């Protein structure tokens, strides 16, 4: 027999071919008998994501003012001008003048008549208006509030009394429908709603003391005969007297220590001495009189007013009055101013 010698790679290749042919034959036989089941392809479901638009608040920025650069001004250098003085006049910096005119850094090459360009300052944007509170909102914002925790024995009326606030205001600020409070309850005390504190009753301001009245009639030392039944005293007003003010008239007989004295209160600037004050003898009596502004300060039990000084006393005057045994039955003589 002839001997066939194969190399190892060729032998392996022949084996692989034989196995492949055998597998093909077996597959064909199985298929012809219906015992081979083709694999069923299962469709794969692909999920497509659906995007839901979420509304986003868009803020529209407030329009910002736009400014156009102003053209530079032209300036002619005068005698004695320096960059610093020119910059101060136009309210700009020295550096801006140097840069705009290509000048040396020290700006020391100026000459009379030289034309310089002066930059105009860039206008500054006005601040944007801010939200303004209404009247009621501003009042509410300015109202000082104090937190308060109800104690064990607290009542709404007691809390209102302690802080001088009405019960209705406390209920309104705290959303209460009744006057009942409980321990540990939190309340807001609106300090701006406190009731006014009654102050002392104002006292009427009294005018300053009046000056001394100037006496007019009778003339100092003027004599009156027994035919005069009464004498009129006159003086100048010191001002407009108030309701409870008056002039105090005092006349006294200083002859022989008789002690006869007359006191009267009038609102007018004259007073008639009654005939009953006339001396009863024929000897001339010296009568001294003066006037003083007074003010009523109280009253006696029977309603008579009590006066106090409201000004200076006038310089006293005197006159002489001759008496008569008729007790003042003569006709009245009143001096004419």
CATH number of the domain residue 252 falls in: 2.60.40.10
Q: What's the whole-number mean pLDDT along residues 94-120? A: 85
Band of residue 329 on the pLDDT scale cut at 50, 70, 90: very low
147, 235: one domain: no
258, 298: one domain: yes
In a domain, 181, yes or no: yes
318, 234: one domain: yes
Instruction: Report which of 189, 186, 187 is spatially closest to residue 146, judged by C-alpha positions.
Output: 189
Which of 85, 103, 118 lies at the terminal end of a domain, its last residue?
A: 118
Reported pTM: 0.38
Q: According to the model, what pLDDT value does residue 273 have?
A: 86
248, 178: one domain: no
In a domain, 2, yes or no: no
151, 232: one domain: no
In a domain, 55, yes or no: no
Q: What is the pLDDT of residues 220-267, one digit of tens each?
A: 888 887 655 678 899 988 888 888 889 999 988 888 666 788 899 998
110, 160: one domain: no
Instruction: Report which of 208, 204, 206, 218 is spatially closest to residue 238, judged by C-alpha positions.
Output: 208
In a domain, 56, yes or no: no
In a domain, 86, yes or no: yes
Taking the C-alpha atoms of residue 274 and residue 282, their distance in angstroms, rounded to an integer, is: 18
Task: Please report, for the domain that includes residue 85, its CATH number.
Answer: 3.10.350.10
In a domain, 328, yes or no: no
Beta bridge partners of residue 188, listed in sequence order: 147
Number of domains in the chain: 3
Q: According to the model, what pLDDT value does residue 89 have?
A: 86
- Rounded to 5°, the CA angle 272-275-279 comes to 120
Q: What is the pLDDT of residues 53-80, one digit of tens each?
A: 555 545 555 556 565 667 888 888 888 8
In a domain, 174, yes or no: yes
In a domain, 29, yes or no: no
- Rounded to 5°, the CA angle 257-261-264 comes to 165
162, 259: one domain: no
Domain that holds residue 86: 73-118
232, 309: one domain: yes
187, 236: one domain: no
Taking the C-alpha atoms of residue 229 and residue 225, their distance in angstroms, rounded to an integer, is: 9
């Amino acid at each position: 027999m002839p001997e066939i010698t194969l190399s190892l790679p060729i032998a392996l290749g022949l084996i692989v071919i034989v196995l492949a042919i055998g597998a093909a034959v077996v597959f064909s036989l199985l298929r012809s008998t219906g015992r081979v089941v083709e694999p069923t392809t299962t469709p794969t479901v692909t999920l497509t994501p659906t995007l839901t638009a979420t509304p986003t608040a868009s803020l529209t920025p407030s329009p910002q003012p736009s400014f156009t650069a102003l053209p530079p001004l032209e300036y002619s250098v005068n005698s004695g001008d320096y960059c610093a003085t020119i910059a101060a006049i136009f309210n700009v910096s020295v550096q801006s003048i140097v840069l705009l005119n290509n000048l040396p850094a020290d700006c020391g090459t100026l000459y009379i008549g030289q034309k310089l360009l002066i930059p105009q300052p860039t206008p500054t944007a006005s601040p944007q208006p801010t939200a303004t509170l209404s009247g009621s909102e501003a009042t509410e914002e300015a109202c000082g509030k104090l937190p308060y925790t109800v104690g064990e024995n607290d009542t709404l009326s007691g809390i209102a009394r302690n802080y001088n606030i009405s019960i209705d205001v406390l209920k309104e600020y705290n959303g209460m429908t009744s006057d009942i409070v409980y321990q540990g309850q939190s309340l807001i005390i609106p300090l701006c709603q406190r009731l006014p504190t009654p102050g002392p009753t104002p006292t009427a301001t009294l005018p300053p003391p009046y000056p001394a009245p100037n006496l007019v009639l009778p003339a100092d030392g003027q004599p009156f005969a027994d035919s005069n039944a009464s004498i009129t005293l006159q003086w100048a007003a010191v001002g407009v007297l108030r309701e409870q003010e008056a002039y105090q008239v005092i006349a006294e007989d200083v002859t022989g220590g008789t002690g006869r004295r007359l006191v009267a209160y009038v609102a007018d600037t004259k007073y008639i001495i009654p005939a009953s004050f006339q001396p009863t003898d024929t000897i001339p009596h010296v009568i001294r009189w003066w006037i003083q502004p007074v003010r009523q300060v109280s009253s006696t039990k029977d309603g008579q007013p009590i006066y106090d000084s409201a000004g200076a006393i006038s310089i006293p005057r005197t006159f002489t009055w001759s008496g008569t045994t008729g007790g003042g039955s003569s006709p009245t003589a009143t001096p004419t101013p």
